[in-house]
Structure 1
Amino acid sequence: MSPQEEEWQLLKKVQQADFVVVELTLYIDTHPNDMEAIQQWREAIKEAAKVRRQYESRFGPLSLLSVPSAQAIEVGWHWNSTPWPWQR
């Protein structure tokens, strides 16, 4: 698998994990007493954070919420520098 394919696969995992968090959040908004869903939501947040860290450690930050990352601290980060993750 090429580096670009690896990046896209990992970015897809980030998007999938974020989708699960959003969907569980919406469900919990309407079912606030569903303790099983709340536990799934907590686990989904941990998984989404883990996948995001994996992506960002290899390819750089995905949002301002990720700054300061190790990359930003060590080498500097310029948001107006291309290519952006979706341009690679």
Structure 2
Amino acid sequence: MNANEEEWNMLKKVQQADFVVVELTLYTDTHPNDIEALKQWRDAIKEASRVRREYEARFGPLSLLSVPSSQALDVGWRWSNTPWPWQR
């Protein structure tokens, strides 16, 4: 697997993890007493965060919230620089 395929696969994992969080959020909004669903929701948030951090450590930030100021200064990150993750 080349680097580009690896990046796309990791980005897909981020999207999948985010999807699970959204779906569980919607479910728990309508079923607030479902303890198992709330546990799954908490676990899904942790997993989505882990996958996002793993992607960003290898390929760069996915949002402005992901860029710590010191990293932005050290690396010289500029949002106007291409390619963006979806352009690679």
Taking structure 2 as the reference length, what is the TM-score of the superposition? 0.94
CA-atom RMSD in angstroms: 1.3
Amino acid at match of 1:86: W
**Large movers: runs of 4+ above 3 Å:** none
TM (normalized to structure 1)? 0.94
Q: Which residue matches 2:68?
A: 68
Instruction: Tell me which amino acid in the other structure corresponds to 1:34.
Output: D
Partner of 1:28: 28
- Does the C-alpha gap of structure 1 residues 46 and 70 become closer, same or farther in structure 2, counting only changes over 3 Å? farther
Over the matched positions of the two proteins, sequence identity in percent amounts to 77
Counterparts of 1:28 and 1:5 in 2: how far apart (Å)?
A: 35
Cα deviations by residue, 1:28-56 (Å, 9 ceiling, x for unpaired): 00001101000000000000000000000
Q: Does structure 2 conserve the Cα–Cα contact (< 8 Å) formed by 1:61 and 1:69?
A: no
Secondary structure class of the residue paired with 1:12: helix
Corresponding letter in the other structure for 2:10? L
Distance (whole Å) between structure 1 residues aligned to residue 36 and residue 29 of structure 2: 14
Query: Which runs of 5 or more structure 1 residues have no equivalent in the other structure?
Result: none
Aligned to 2:48: 48
The 1:52/1:80 distance shift into structure 2, 3 A limit, reads: same
Question: Contact (CA 8 Å) 1:14, 1:51: kept in 2 or not?
Answer: yes
2:58 paired residue number: 58
Distance (Å, rounded) in 2 between the aligned partners of 1:8 and 1:17: 14
